[in-house]
Structure 1
């Protein structure tokens, strides 16, 4: 027995010495060129006798560790002499290295007095990338006559390293089963708590001539939240907006709402540095390992490696990409993109798997949000022709059974199995959604974030309109709500009542909507008929995109703001969306307008200068809108479009009918506009909008085109921010707006501004048009006088010989959220109560 104890003691002592002997060795340092002393990126670093290896980053820095009993570290780079150094085992240490040219590896040696910096000329790496660029067309899927494959997609969001305060908080005690479901094995030093998970299986079809595409979603499984609180389709669209499909053969790659220049873009050699770092063989195909990084580490460019085939196709076989920490990217602490390509039957390579991983730095330290999208392509068929019937209808459709696939189906059709934590996430979230306490939390969160509070089959809101004020109504209170699908999927009602304490008048709104397709009237595609009546006050010429006029924040206005209209509006409308992002709207509107505040309706003729109480119009309208490939976030009140490179075209026609339901005027109007986002790669992007309109007939000024003015302190994208309300009216006009975002292209080169992550923005707005003689009050005694101020000075004008123009320059991304513009008014600065300069601000969340 004593002998056994001695043996055990001896074994413990030996184990302690063994553990001590194999203590961790950590080595870091910088690698530089011997001639220029510049940092060398993508140098291969390996600890001899082990599998530990890494490469230097864009600044030439590296860090590597091992617990093996070795003491040699080796640095290799094509065209340079290999360097081997000795290190001390079991310690942290710094080893800096200088690498010298190896003239023996060069076919020709040119003796020069000084080592030249990186250049494209006579650079074999650049010659190789030019071959890749030249062969892009033949290596793309679009080069085939027909393509059919199956795509599996997995998207997830998870909290990385859940804050301990959440776990210990008594408010989260009931939800401990969710907080305990973490994955600590996937990434070293990270514990991932899944919040959202979605899987899709889609059949993809492509035809080259004529070009047609079709995507059929055959299966979807995702964590669903209660539809009363969260629009699940919008979550999917937002995730896909952040993690868009990646095609390395495109000039630009869109990730996290930003445009990155592809390393094989046509102009890549002008922005990237390329290095040949190795040659390998895969399935008998010789590959070149091509490392690359940005010439300017502040630009939106990738750094990483690609493997290029030397089989005459010069295709990409694999790519590993990251980004420099110096780029002006909000909220993102790391980004990694891996693309794998598989050899087709014709010897070329097609995408087989794409994995995008992003860590969002929401919390302090290592805590944040982890996002991932993995796409796997299989059953790639380039031989079988595709029937024309496959491409009929919208480009994207979903089968009726896609949301009801069994667990067995998913087990058999996933290319990779889910982890235990991912599987449990589905179950946990189902349980969470059924908990009454969680539903209460979501209900109050919806009130705070979206402005609506659910009360059974109805919602009360929006709360931002419950209180406001203006010069006509004074203090104004409003209360309203609407029904939801919990009451009916066919019939919807909405109503509110409001009271102004200064004018002592009630305002109200009541509408009834019938959904023809038995879907929510807030869900695409729309197909409904609506009847409504509204008695309300408004400012002529104020048009808002994603906010209601009586929003509390819009109560604060600059300058004189006393010209209002009381409106009684009876409206009948039919809206139909075709499902391929084309829509029509048919409308009848009976409108009675009454002047309010400092506005009066007075005939222009001096003899007939009587005051008119109100005026009535009856109008039939038609609107056609086309937004190819459009996606949007469906919110409680509005849709927010997701920008894409395709134009959005809108055309409207209205016909006023005299004598019908009290209508006093015959007229016709036609108008249209086109919007397009123009991506400029490293120079940012520009939003461009052009419009035009024409009114046939003679009408008083409230029925003319009233220029879209803004007298608030907020910067409005589609309004003229230094124009007064009702300042300009036209019966014919053309307009042009440009909003240009440089994304820090200049500021990133200024040290202080770069640290603050500020971005440049500029804008230009133009409105040009005029009034025909028949619509000028001085020529037509039956028309109404243009409005005047308290001194009798006219404050409404037509555009004469020059256009109205504004120019703005500004800074955005202040504290990652705020945009501030300095605006200069370029014309008509002699008008009363106008400012030549102004400062406006806007909240703008962006990555």
Structure 2
């Protein structure tokens, strides 16, 4: 939830503060561009003032207009296939200059074009399909990983600009103070786009790869990024953008972009998903023959590319270049266009390596809107060294954290080491944004926006929040007010504090929390890899078995619940936890906990079958857990960390031991819990998120220490909970569960004209829970155990699972208004329990592309 809020904040700030500005112009040049030989007008010709980023494109009739307040004396006119023209102009005047462009006399060394009578497309006896099958067959051979050793330099540049902004907003008084921002326009890099750069991130790395044993190490040589100040989490923005613009490997079976899984046009399944056409044959300057192979989806609604690639005919069947675009019919939010261009360079052994990859996308709230956000990620590779072994230590680390020295490289370093050049507009971004963030008006408004969207208000080394928990209510506490906050790295990178205080006006009790965390690796505890020790104490209310997802349990929205939900406990929890993560994404935790549970009033008493009333249940626990999440990535910033779901599994195993007579502990027991999560990508059918859990408790314990299965009586759809199960309804000392949440991605709605325009997407889920309570933990057999809870009439409300599982399923629609999911949930059994619902409507907020 937090990383989404960060993205919303950044987008809001950028769009709010940096909008297009119309400035009174002094030098105005208009005219018509024509072909010098044919006299025909030329559309989309780029006309710019020499030495500036101010430019324009001619329209369909060849007409152009360009203007500036600065006294430029020349314009430069450029057009593919024509010689550049540099023409003098009179500064400070309005003038008409018609331009005649001379074609360049260039031609391909060899072009062979064949034509045939149009017929129904088929793979059989199709030379284009035979060619792509050769490319697929040689795919592994043409990957860099086919070498025993590879090393190279990688320069990664990501830039975002506001595009084609309205020219009226600058006339307003509020925006005059930001005039310097709007002067830095680029109208030449992308025809038809007037770009105002507002974000830039650069990273230079040395990469080492070894095949046996396989490992890749990236050594960061330099890192530089636009800094929006403390109000915006720059690290979080960078992580999010790079996830959207993931690195593209055309030789992979699938390509992740904009959180969607695209099938590669040279995947094993490509011939069944794409149509291929040989559209040209070309001989390069070095006399290498290439085939231009065009491709398009068989079904334009599928998550596929269209475009063209150039294949070598030297026996390697390697990709020499590829141009990919996304079909406009694909169900993707906010993306007006997406392009990927890749160029490959030849190695001395005749094989090809990726030399440059450029991904650019045009974002907008509407498909036809002119203004929006334009993002470009360019990755350049150079200095390839093949099959030169290095010492083992060169390949040992998977990742490397950039040091302060690496993050503060000199301008001379970047001038000498960039593998690509910055445009004139890009080169000014760092200084312009730095000036913007030092303006008091910007900082004040940024603080307000941060509070509204992220829920925190910063005060240097301390943040106040989250705002969503300031007020809530429940049947036990009545109106509940809460105020809290946490420290930031500005106070210390090693020591962190978090606290809150709350007061219930009905039970007239104070609740509070305090934690102190020490980071052993002198970096934020919210960043990978973690290595910290945390001590905490919490006194608060809790519904047994309720687990909120990504939100605080006293969030105002969770105060609204269905049915009867007055069974609360007061909890005093003392905890000590040590967490240690490793570079290979294996981690372990060690913990100690003293837990005191007290019934909140008479609604949930602890009574044995002998009639004894227990005022407080005290347990002392020691715990140990391991977790393995290969290739896990995070949205992570200064004060948050959220995992990015990918195709790799996440496995965890936890053992908790109750210690009797230690610090007042009342019971000896062991609780073993296993969980596995994985996302399965099913190509055209979408993807499924699958969770499998199992647990077993060894020893005799009262019901509050059994597994109280995650129920949900709110109106939100919670992925990990049973959305039609009542709180405290089921307990187990052994259980197994399977949770499948499937997203079709518009598979069916895309084929219905009206729904296709709405871009709705289908979901379906099923949840199965097996479990039970053994005789040793059954209070009807052992009278010293606590009775299972009952309602006011004495009717039981807590049960053990019988010989059949609890089953719940749902069908739903997501992407309503781009971010709302609505599910129709069905409960299939145990319908004879009191106050249960067979059907329910639940909603969930989810932002996705």
> 1:290-322 deviations in whole A, cap 9, x for unaligned?
111111111111111111111111111111111
Distance 2:147 2:125 in 1: 34
Confirm whether residue 360 of structure 1 aligns to residue 377 of structure 2: no
**CA distance in 2 between partners of 1:492 and 1:15 (Å):** 64
Whether contact under 8 Å (1:768, 1:803) holds in the other structure is yes
Matches of 2:815 and 2:784, distance apart in 1 = 52
How much does 1:637 deviate? 6.5
- Report the more deviating stretch, 335-344 or 14-23: 14-23
For residue 128 of structure 2, give the secondary structure of its aligned residue in structure 1: helix
Q: What SS is found at the alignment partner of 1:128? A: helix
- 8 A contact 2:773–2:801 mirrored in 1: yes
* Residues 36, 101 of structure 2: 8 Å contact kept: no
Contact preservation (8 Å) 2:595, 2:620: yes
What secondary structure is seen at the aligned counterpart in 2 of 1:401? Answer: helix
The number of equivalent residue pairs is: 760
Aligned to 1:799: 801
Partner of 1:223: 226
Q: Which residue of 2 aligns with 1:333?
A: 336
Equivalent runs, 1:185-264 vs 2, <5 Å: 185-226=188-229, 228-264=230-266
Matched-pair contact (CA < 8 Å) for 1:261–1:682: no
What is the 5 A alignment of 1:359-758?
Answer: 359-362=362-365, 365-398=369-402, 401-596=405-600, 599-605=603-609, 608-634=610-636, 638-758=640-760
Q: Distance in 1 between matches of 2:34 and 2:594?
A: 93
C-alpha RMSD of matched pairs (Å): 2.5
Q: 1:763 aligns with which of 765, 781, 784?
A: 765
Q: Quick check: 2:215–2:398 contact (8 Å CA) kept in 1?
A: no
Deviation per residue, 1:508-537 (Å, 9 max, x gap): 112222233332333333222222211100
**What is the rounded CA distance, in whole Å, between the counterparts of 2:100 and 2:328 in structure 1?**
29
- Is structure 2 residue 845 aligned with structure 1 residue 846? no
Rounded to whole Å, the distance in 1 between the matches of 2:723 and 2:456 is 30
Secondary structure of 2:746 counterpart: coil
Q: TM-score when scaled to structure 1?
A: 0.86
Cα contact 1:634–1:640 (8 A) shared by 2: yes
Question: Structure 2: how far apart are the matches of 1:361 and 1:382?
Answer: 43
Secondary structure of the corresponding residue to residue 191 of structure 2: coil
2:348 to 345, 349, 369: 345
Q: How far did 1:170 drift?
A: 2.6
CA distance in 1, matches of 2:653, 2:535: 23
- Aligned counterparts of 2:466 and 2:475: Cα–Cα separation in 1: 22
Is 1:24 matched up with 2:26?
Answer: no
List aligned pairs for 1:39-58, cutoff 5 A.
none
Pairwise CA distance, 1:67:
8.4
CA deviation after TM superposition for structure 1 residue 661, in Å: 1.4
Instruction: Give the distance between the partners of 1:530 and 1:685, measured in 2 at CA.
Output: 37
Please say if residues 24 and 67 of structure 1, whose CA atoms lie closer than 8 Å, have aligned partners that are also in contact. no
Q: Using a 3 Å threshold, how does the CA distance of structure 1 residues 505 and 237 change in structure 2: closer, same or farther?
A: same
Moved more, 292-301 or 15-24: 15-24
Change (3 A) 1:52 1:683: farther
For residues 60-79 of structure 1, what are the structure 2 equivalents within 5 Å?
78-79=113-114
Distance 1:637 1:780, change over 3 A: farther
In structure 2, distance between residues paired with 1:353 and 1:490: 40
- TM-score (normalizing by structure 2): 0.86
Could you say which residue in structure 2 is the equivalent of 1:301?
A: 304
Deviation of the 1:623 alpha carbon: 2.1
Structure 1 residues 491-514: Cα deviation after superposition (integer angstroms, max 9, x where no partner): 332222111111111111122222
Q: What is the CA-CA distance between 1:599 and the residue it aligns to?
A: 3.6
State the distance in 2 between where 1:399 and 1:635 align. Answer: 16
Cα deviation per residue 1:532-587 (whole Å; 9 max; x = unaligned)?
Answer: 21110011111122101000010011111111111011112222223443322221
Aligned residues of 2:488 and 2:638 also touching (Cα < 8 A) = no
* 1:119, distance to aligned residue in structure 2 (A): 0.7
Question: Which has the larger displacement, 525-534 or 666-675?
Answer: 525-534
Does the C-alpha gap of structure 1 residues 597 and 67 become closer, same or farther in structure 2, counting only changes over 3 Å? farther
**In structure 2, the residue corresponding to 1:366 is in which secondary structure?**
coil
Instruction: Give matches, 1:243-322, under 5 Å.
Output: 243-282=245-284, 283-322=286-325
Alpha-carbon spacing, 1:529–1:372, altered in 2? closer, same or farther (3 Å) = same
Which deviations, in whole Å up to 9, do the C-alpha atoms of 1:401-450 show, x marking residues without a partner? 32121111111111222111111001111222222322222222211111
**Alpha-carbon separation, structure 1, partners of 2:651 and 2:153:** 33
* Contact 1:604–1:780 (8 Å) recurs in 2: no
Q: Is 1:675–1:689's contact at 8 Å kept on the other side of the alignment?
A: yes
Q: Per the alignment, in what secondary structure is the counterpart of residue 240 of structure 2?
A: helix
Q: In the alignment, is the contact (CA less than 8 A) between 2:216 and 2:398 conserved in 1?
A: no
In structure 1, the gaps of 5 or more residues are: 1-13, 28-49, 54-65, 71-75, 81-100, 103-114
After superposition, the C-alpha distances for 1:680-700 in whole angstroms (9 at most, x for unaligned) are 222211111111111111001
- Structure 2: gaps of 5 or more residues: 1-30, 45-78, 83-98, 104-110
What's the offset of the Cα at 1:341?
A: 0.9
Rate the CA distance shift 1:713–1:513 in 2: closer, same or farther, 3 A.
Answer: same
Asked if the contact 1:237/1:631 (under 8 Å) is kept, the reply is no
Counterpart CA distance in 2 for 1:347 and 1:471 is 75
SS of equivalent to 2:568:
strand
Contact 2:381-2:419 at 8 Å conserved across structures: no
Q: Distance in 2 between matches of 1:809 and 1:116?
A: 42
- Counterpart CA distance in 2 for 1:761 and 1:477 is 37
Specify the structure having the higher radius of gyration (Cα): 1
Query: Matches of 1:165 and 1:782 in 2, distance apart?
Result: 78
CA 1:487–1:52: 2 relative to 1, 3 Å: closer
Structure 1 position 249, deviation (Å): 1.0
Q: 1:617 to 1:548 in 2, by over 3 A?
A: same
Q: Which moved more, 1:514-523 or 1:186-195?
A: 514-523
SS class of match (1:139)? coil
Give the whole-Å Cα distance in 2 for the aligned partners of 1:800 and 1:502. Answer: 39
* Structure 1 contact 362–369 (Cα < 8 Å) conserved: no
1:179, distance to aligned residue in structure 2 (A): 2.2
SS at match of 1:290: strand
Show CA shifts across 1:738-757 (max 9, x none): 11111112221111111111
1:139-198 CA-partner distances (Å, limit 9, x unpaired): 111111111111111001111123335423333322221122111121233211112101
